[in-house]
Structure formats: structure tokens, C-alpha cells
Amino acid sequence: MKQKVFAVVDIETTGGLARRDRITEIAIALFDGDKIIATFQSLVNPERSIPTEITRITGITNAMVANAPKFYEIAKQVVTMTEGAIFVAHNVRFDYSFIREEFGALGFTFTRRQLCTVVLSRKAFPGLRSYSLGNLIRHFDIKVENRHRAMDDVLATVDILGRILRQEEGHHQVDRIINAGIKASHLPKDITLERLHSLPESVGVYYFYNIYGHVIYVGKSINIRKRIMQHFGNIDAKTDKFINKVADISFEETGSELIAMLLESSEIKALQPEINKAQRTKNYPYFIHHFTDVSGYIRFDWDKSSVKSRQDKHILNHYGSKSSARGHLMMITERLTLCSGLTGLYASDGSCFYYQTGACNGGCQKKEPPELYNERAQNGIDMLKKNFNDNFFLVTDGKARDEKALILIEDGHYKGYGYLHVDDMGMGVEEWKETVKYLPPNPECNQLIMTWMDKHPETKIVKF
């Protein structure tokens, strides 16, 4: 079996957020499980000021990095040192995310198999009060000259990794973590561990195919590789039957989590994969319709959807719940001063609740002429047909740093999505529309967008 090589990495940074902060120092030690075979270390010019509190922790000052190389100047060495090796760090998500961001800013994708010595230490040394690097250094009396300097922390991490590997189950634990519990012998013939490790760690949609090339499952994830590996790693009686049907995989990176959600929904509706039963059959079981009564008033009502209930109805919109349908009716009733008895909110042979409170002009009592009332009710029809009142684009992250994703909402509904280079964002709406991939109407997509906008009010909106 090919001997593993570990690239043990530590970085110092200007702060704790990979998308905002920058690297100030990096150290790498190549470790073969027995000895260090190569090292690399460098201060890095972060091209910004280092906060005072960070200098206090690391000892790295602005003067120290002023003439240091910028990341792009050492990027090739980072690639060379880590290529083919397992990327190891104490809290690997932190170090790995910063390095991925630095490469992303240069227009490259940095992908490596990862191993976290925090996770390994919990399994290898149970019962410790803390598994921070500092506590492990104290516990094992590891000699460190300068804590919070990259190479010193790397050497301490190498020491800890070596202790773990020398345990009886050490190498097996490493394999289980790196491969997410996947056993190569359990994988389909044409899907290898190497292929799984080569999948992108980005947001998007993925597809599973059977031996006939038919899509049998569609999923989404903010990390395609991690999610697909979870499918193959978490095998039980239920999932085993599913995984045994998988002969091939593919994926589509979207850059935007919202687009991944929208694309997944559209693909499930279009492809009808056999394993996506819940999402495939997911529908919107309530609807609002309108009709004109014998007195000439436009009325609204909601009902549960069935072949019989939909027959001969002028359906305006579909909803996932009764409360959503009633909420939409209540909104137009209050906004347009409609009669709650004529909008299906209040069942009574007499005056409606809104009339009793002075919020209804008397349609329920025929005190307001139908011609006058219907002018506002017609506006209600137009509003109920729409999930959105404005025409606009949502602008989110694209698939690359220099790209934006555009999600088109027009005539009250989601229409599709596209991508645009940041240098072309100044073009007009018609040019933006030319980038859009138009998709069939899908009530679930409208709901996904509304939920997204509620949860992410910071999302950029461009109205037209």
C-alpha cells in the first residue's frame, strides 16, 4: 500500500473570517508518519493592517510583513508541498478555508484530502479537559519556543499526529476520517475513493445514475464532495439498497446556495428520479380561486386541491398550507378594503367581521354596488396571481470570484437564473435577461425565494 504523506499546516491571520481576513504567516511540514521530510515557512504580506490584538497574540507586526512576499508569490510552493499529501491541521477547517480563499482570489481551486488533529485527538486521547493545541502541548509536555507562530505550532501538531499514528488503531482512524467512513470494497465498480476525493468542495447540485444512465437521485449541498461521501459512508439497511443502485455520479456547481436549491427543485420535477419520492411528489395542496356570485360580486375562496375540487375553477395560485392561502387572502382583503365575507375569510349570512369594525364598505350587505366593489376585487385577482409585486433580479455569489449569479423574478414569478462577469454588471436589464436560463413554472421555487429573502435580507435586489 502506498505510504501516506501528511502536509501538516498552520497559518496566522489578521482575523477569524476567511472571506474577510488574510494570511500573515504560513508553515508546512511534510511528515511521513515517522519523520519530517521537508519544511516550508514564510511570513506573508496580507496587504492590510494587522489589528493590535492579533499582534499581541501572534507577535507578528505590520513592520515584519511589510516586505514579506504576497500570497501569490508563494502559492506555487504551497501547491507543490501539499500536492498528493493529506492536508493536516489542528482545527483543519480554519487553515484550509483561508488557503482555499487565497487560491480562489487568484482564480484557482485548491482541493486536498483533509485531516483534523482535534477530531483525531478526541478519539486517541479520551478524557482530556480540552483538545486545544495549547492544552495538548501542556498535557504531553511538548517543547515549543513561540506559541502562535506558524512553524512552532506545526511542529507541535506533527508531534501529536505522530503519537496518534503510533497507537494500534492510529492509521485505521486516519483512514476512516479521511474517507468519511467509506470502505472502498463497498463502492460501485466505477466510483473509486480517488474519484470521490476529486469532487469539488463547492455548492451545487449532484446526480446519481443507475446502470442504464437514468438519473435516480438529485441532491444539493454547499459542499458537493462532503455530501456525496456521506451518502457512501453512512451505509445501513435502508441506504444500502439505495447505494447499490448507483452506477455513476455527476454534478453541477452553482456558486450560489439559492440557485442550488432552485435547480434541485426544477430537476426533480423534470427528471422524476425514483429515489426522490418525497420531493418528486411534493405539491402545494391548497389553492385560491375566484368566481362571480349571482349578485354580481367577485368572490374568492380557498380549497384543498384534488381533481374534483379543481374542476371548472379559476385558480389563481397554489399554497403549501392552509395558513399560507388564508394569509394571502387576508393581505389583499385588508390592503384593498375588500369584504372578508366575499374573500372566504368569514362565513356568515349577515355582515362580515370587517364590516362590523368599519373596515368593509358593505359588499356583504349589498350596500356597496358590485361594479364599484369589483374594481378593487379585480386588483385582488392580479395580486393573488403574483408571488412577488415587483420585477427584480436577486444578485448572489457566482461560481467564481469575478462572477455574479442573477435570479430573475418577473410578472410575479421566478423565471430562471444566469451568470454575469462582474465587469458586465453595468449592462442594462435586457442584457442581464439574455444570460438567464429560463425554467418551467414551479410554485416551490417561488416559495424557496420568498423564504430565502426573509432569512437573507442582505441579498442584493435590483428592481426594473
Secondary structure in 3-state letters for the chain: CCCCCEEEEEEEECCCCCCCCCEEEEEEEEECCCCEEEEEEEECECCCCCCHHHHHHHCCCHHHHCCCCEHHHHHHHHHHHHCCCEEEECCHHHHHHHHHHHHHHCCCCCCCCEEEHHHHHHHHCCCCCCCCHHHHHHHHCCCCCCCCCHHHHHHHHHHHHHHHHCCCCHHHHHHHHHCCCCCHHHCCCCCCHHHHHCCCCCCEEEEEECCCCCEEEEEEECCHHHHHHHHHHCCCHHHHHHHCCCCEEEEEECCCHHHHHHHHHHHHHHHCCCCCHHHHCCCCCEEEEEEECCCCCEEEEEEECCHHHHCCCEEEEEECCHHHHHHHHHHHHHHCCCCCCCCCCCCCCCCCHHHHCCCCCCHHHCCCCHHHHHHHHHHHHHHHCCCCCCCEEEEEECCCCCEEEEEEEECCEEEEEEEEEHHHCCCCHHHHHHCCEECCCCHHHHHHHHHHHHHCCCCEEEEC
Q: Minimal CA–CA distance to 104: which of 377, 429, 455, 403?
A: 403
* Per-residue exposure over 70-89, b if at least 16 CB sit within 10 Å of its own CB, e if not: ebeebbeebeebbeebbbbb
What are the φ and ψ backbone dihedral angles of 354, each rounded to 5 degrees?
-65, -35
Q: Give me 122's grid cell.
A: 478526541
Q: Minimal CA–CA distance to 30: which of 155, 170, 172?
A: 155
pLDDT number for residue 277: 78
- Rounded to an integer, what is the distance from CA 429 to the centroid of its chain? 27
- Longest CA–CA separation in the chain, Å: 93
Q: Give me 417's grid cell.
A: 437564473
pLDDT number for residue 195: 92
pLDDT number for residue 244: 85
pLDDT number for residue 1: 52
What are the φ and ψ backbone dihedral angles of 70, each rounded to 5 degrees?
-80, 165
pLDDT number for residue 119: 95
Question: Could you give the CA distance from residue 219 to residue 193 in angstroms, rounded to a whole number?
Answer: 20
- Residue 211 CB neighbours (<10 A): 12
List of the chain residues with pLDDT < 70: 1-2, 235-238, 278-283
What are the φ and ψ backbone dihedral angles of 353, each rounded to 5 degrees?
-60, -40
